[in-house]
Amino acid sequence: MAGASLLPMEVLLLKRVQERVLDSEEPPPQYICRNGDTTEDVSSPSSMIPIIDLSLLSSSTPWAKEEELEKLKSALCSWGCFQAIGHGISSSFLDKIRQVAREFFEQPMEKKKKLAKTVEEFEGYGADPIPVDPAEACLNARFNYYSPCQWPDLVLGLKPHADGSGHTKILQDDTEGLQVLKNDQWVTVPTIPHALLVLIGDQMEIMTNGVFKSPVHRVLTNSERERISVAVFYYPEPNKEIGPEDGLVDEERPKLFKKMKDYGDIHRKYYLKGMRAIHTAKERVLNGEEPPLRYICKGSDTTKDFSSPSPQIPIIDLSLLSSPTPWAKEEEFEKLKSALCSWGCFQIKICQVAREFFELPMEEKKKLAKGVGEFEGYGDDHIPAEDGSGHTIILQDDVEGLQVLKNDQWVTVPTIPHALLVLIGDQMEIMTNGVFKSPVHRVLTTSERESMSVAVFFYPEPNKEIGPEDGLVNEERP
């Protein structure tokens, strides 16, 4: 639901999905995720999920073994998943697993709540808003319960995502609902008694240099029937560096992914935003690749770019603020106040510093690579945003690209030699009770020249409580 205020996961977990259904509650906005979903569902025989008989892979008949291996390779390269039969796990054992799962979810709610999980925990009862995080083990199992839902056209059982694991195995019951995205169409995974669905995860796609695919999948809700499944996730051991295997990199298939650690942490952060994470492992600019969809952020941007001489980003001469001439000092203070209240930024009158680093070989820069959630290190951050700081000071080079949003128009910040751009951050807007503005800003790319800048962020001390200053709260400005 566009524009809906989303509840924090901690609030959602105060009442589990199963409990909301039993109380006949309408779903909160967080669960409305099918509005505007125009992707086609298909269920024709030609679009069937591949079925692989694993027993044939150890067959004594060479042609049968080779044929099934080719089917397996085709399934992993094209679909990134397959239904496994002949896997050697007894039917009675799989039936018992499903029975135990069903008996647990049929227990009274108060009994299940004794095993309730928090947002950051993997083990326990409750909705799991984040993918599993293999802190210690390399195998994690998850029992999924999807309640009957009165709004199947609006509510998904599990939103579209690709797994951050090496691979995932899923045991379904007899209620369909799991779908895989193939050629922009959602293909329903049929329920085959005692078959296991095997899904390739992002980490396997990285290690195979993109030969095997990590498919996007989701779970539909059903208005009449509940659904139970069991998923087992395999992860490489913690802190293991992953990257394309050498034998899968050659002239015909150049290296598509870089080596990286802690991909599970990266995947979790992007999953919470409803986004895929695998692009973070790709080397793009130096390989001359087209940008992935996540980088395409101007296609539907109808906000006007303003390039006429007016309006101009305010320019403040800080030397006048300590001028012995009262009128000059007062005039510059008024200009400063107007800039902060209206624009939330200004340029200060008061580059070769960073260029040498970025011209280093890629392998040298990678030694200083930063992880997701880290501030220090080599990496990128490329989405339009407001700063969460108190204020930010930016030194630009001579290539224009930085823009500030003013009255629904993007205004380019001109490059003034040796000037510093000062941007008010969200925390300063909060502390001034909205008197000073925290401007939305972005950076454009250029087809001919690289651009460099240095940004210094000021933050209040950690754990400091912030809020409007008392002197800035009155009847006129509550």
| Boundary residue ending a domain (294, 317, 332) | 294
Beta bridge partners of residue 455, listed in sequence order: 394
Question: Do 113 and 170 lie in a common domain?
Answer: yes
Q: Is 60 within a domain?
A: yes
Question: Do 75 and 174 lie in a common domain?
Answer: yes
Question: Do 108 and 171 lie in a common domain?
Answer: yes
- Report CA 83 to chain centroid distance, whole Å: 28
Question: Do 72 and 204 lie in a common domain?
Answer: yes
Q: Is 230 within a domain?
A: yes
| Boundary residue ending a domain (294, 317, 338) | 294
Q: Is 348 within a domain?
A: yes
Q: Is 2 within a domain?
A: no
Q: Is 129 within a domain?
A: yes
The CATH number of residue 135's host domain is: 2.60.120.330
**Residue 411 to residue 443: CA distance in whole angstroms:** 11
What's residue 178's pLDDT?
95
Q: Is 464 within a domain?
A: yes
Q: Is 191 within a domain?
A: yes
What's residue 416's pLDDT?
87
**Residue 55 to residue 32: CA distance in whole angstroms:** 42
**Residue 260 to residue 239: CA distance in whole angstroms:** 9
**Residue 478 to residue 471: CA distance in whole angstroms:** 11
Contact 135, 238 (CB under 8 A): yes
Locate 205 and state its tokens: 């796609």
- Report CA 185 to chain centroid distance, whole Å: 22
Question: Do 275 and 310 lie in a common domain?
Answer: no
Closest CA to 134 of 170, 168, 165, 163: 165
Residue type present at position 249? V
Number of domains in the chain: 2
Contact 227, 107 (CB under 8 A): no
| Boundary residue ending a domain (264, 294, 324) | 294
β strands within 328-452, DSSP E: 345-348, 391-396, 402-406, 409-412, 420-424, 441-443
Question: Do 195 and 238 lie in a common domain?
Answer: yes
pTM of the model: 0.57
Question: Do 271 and 314 lie in a common domain?
Answer: no
Question: Do 322 and 214 lie in a common domain?
Answer: no
Question: Do 276 and 346 lie in a common domain?
Answer: no
Q: Is 478 within a domain?
A: no
What is the full DSSP assignment across 196-242?
Answer: EEEEE-HHHHHHTTTSS----EEEE--SS--EEEEEEEE-PPTT--B
Q: What is the pLDDT along the chain (478 residues), one digit of tens a residue?
A: 333 334 444 444 445 565 665 566 666 665 666 555 655 665 544 468 999 999 999 999 999 999 999 999 999 999 999 999 999 999 999 999 999 999 998 999 888 888 877 656 666 776 554 444 445 547 888 899 998 888 888 888 888 999 999 999 999 999 999 999 998 899 999 999 999 999 999 999 999 999 999 999 999 999 999 999 999 999 888 788 899 999 999 888 889 999 988 888 888 888 877 788 888 887 654 455 556 555 566 555 555 555 445 467 888 888 888 888 889 889 988 999 898 988 888 887 653 334 566 667 777 767 777 665 565 666 655 444 456 788 899 988 888 889 999 888 889 999 888 888 999 999 999 999 999 999 999 998 887 777 888 888 888 888 888 999 988 888 888 8
Locate 117 and state its tokens: 């999980």
Question: Do 364 and 252 lie in a common domain?
Answer: no
Strand order in the sheet with 420-424: 315-316, 345-348, 420-424, 391-396, 453-458
Question: Do 92 and 206 lie in a common domain?
Answer: yes
Structural domain that includes position 440: 305-375+383-472
Question: Do 243 and 389 lie in a common domain?
Answer: no
**Residue 237 to residue 190: CA distance in whole angstroms:** 32
